[in-house]
Amino acid sequence: MIRFFTTVAACVVVACAGPVAAEEIKGQAIIAGVPSIIALDIDDDLATLRHRPADNSAGWSRYVVHGPRQALALLADERLAFLWPALERMGGDDMSKLRDQSLERTRRGWQEGRLTAPNDEMANVGLSRRARALGQYVDALMDAGQWEAALELLTSERKRERGTSTLDHLELQAIIRDTAQVLEGLKQTERELDVWRQGIQLLGDSPFGLNLRLSLAARLAETGHYAESLEISEAARATFLKTAPANQVPNALPQFDWIRACALKGLGRADEANAIMAGVADAEQVESRRIHLPRIRDHEQRAYQCLRDPEGLAEVWSRDLTQSPAIGSETFLLAQASAEIDVLHRPTVDAAHAVFTAAPPLRMLPDRYSAAQHAWR
pLDDT tens digits along 172-195: 999 999 999 999 999 999 999 999
Residue 242 within any structural domain of the chain: no
Task: Find the mean pLDDT for residues 137-148.
Answer: 96
DSSP track, 311-376: HHHHHHHHHHHHT-PPTT-THHHHTSTT----TTTHHHHHHHHHH----TTB-PPPGGGHHHHTTT
What is the residue range of 161's domain? 8-187
Residue 18 within any structural domain of the chain: yes
Residue 327 within any structural domain of the chain: no
pLDDT tens digits along 18-63: 444 468 899 999 998 899 999 999 876 678 999 999 999 999 989 9
pLDDT tens digits along 87-123: 999 999 999 999 999 999 999 999 998 888 776 565 6
pLDDT tens digits along 339-362: 988 888 999 999 999 999 988 999
Q: Which residue did the predictor score with more confidence, 132 or 9?
A: 132
Give dist(CA 145, CA 96) in Å, integer. 12
Task: Find the mean pLDDT for residues 291-320.
Answer: 90
Residue 121 within any structural domain of the chain: yes
Among 218-227, 243-252, 274-283, 318-327, the minimum mean pLDDT is found in 243-252
Q: Looking at residue 19, what is its pLDDT?
A: 43
Q: Looking at residue 336, what is its pLDDT?
A: 94
Residue 47 within any structural domain of the chain: yes
Average pLDDT of the chain is: 88
C-alpha 53, offset from chain centre: 25
Residue 90 within any structural domain of the chain: yes
Number of domains making up the chain: 1
* Percentage of the residues of the chain whose pLDDT score is greater than 70: 90
Residue 68 within any structural domain of the chain: yes
Residue 94 within any structural domain of the chain: yes
Task: Find out whether 139 and 11 touch, Cβ atoms under 8 Å.
Answer: yes
Give dist(CA 284, CA 307) in Å, integer. 22
| pLDDT band per the 50, 70, 90 thresholds, residue 377 | confident
pLDDT at 7 over 50: no
pLDDT tens digits along 206-241: 889 999 999 999 999 999 999 999 999 999 999 999
Q: Looking at residue 161, what is its pLDDT?
A: 72
